[in-house]
Amino acid sequence: MEALNIVLPVLLYIFGIILLIVLIILGIRLIQILNKIDKAVDDTIERINLFNDVLSTLSKAANGVSAVGDKVISGLIGVVSKIFNKNKEEEDYYE
């Protein structure tokens, strides 16, 4: 019985030390993995920002083309409406 009182605490201390060493190693590995993940996330954010810049440039160009197209179409509509309104005014004049 006295042998158990001496051996069991020693075994518990040994297992505790082993567990502590394993947890320290796992903690270091976890920190390394988190650093790699942080680098990957930063790289992804940079690529997304570059993609957003390209999209904003394309959007500005599309808005410019759309504005020019709207002005051309409104001019054509104005010319066509003047032509048809002249024909109606001449018909009203002769009636």
The per-residue pLDDT for 87 is 60
- Give dist(CA 11, CA 8) in Å, integer: 5
2 pLDDT above the threshold of 60: yes
Give the DSSP H/E element, type plus range, for residue 62. helix 2-94
The per-residue pLDDT for 13 is 96
Amino acid identity, residue 81? S
- Give dist(CA 65, CA 58) in Å, integer: 11
Domains of the chain by residue range: 1-67
At 53-83, the pLDDT tens digits run 888 889 999 999 999 999 999 999 888 888 8
At 5-61, the pLDDT tens digits run 889 999 999 999 999 999 999 999 999 999 999 999 999 999 998 888 888 889 999
Q: Is the dihedral of CA 74, 76, 80, 86 positive or negative?
A: positive
The per-residue pLDDT for 27 is 97
94 pLDDT above the threshold of 70: no
- Give dist(CA 90, CA 95) in Å, integer: 9
92 pLDDT above the threshold of 60: no
pTM across the whole model: 0.52
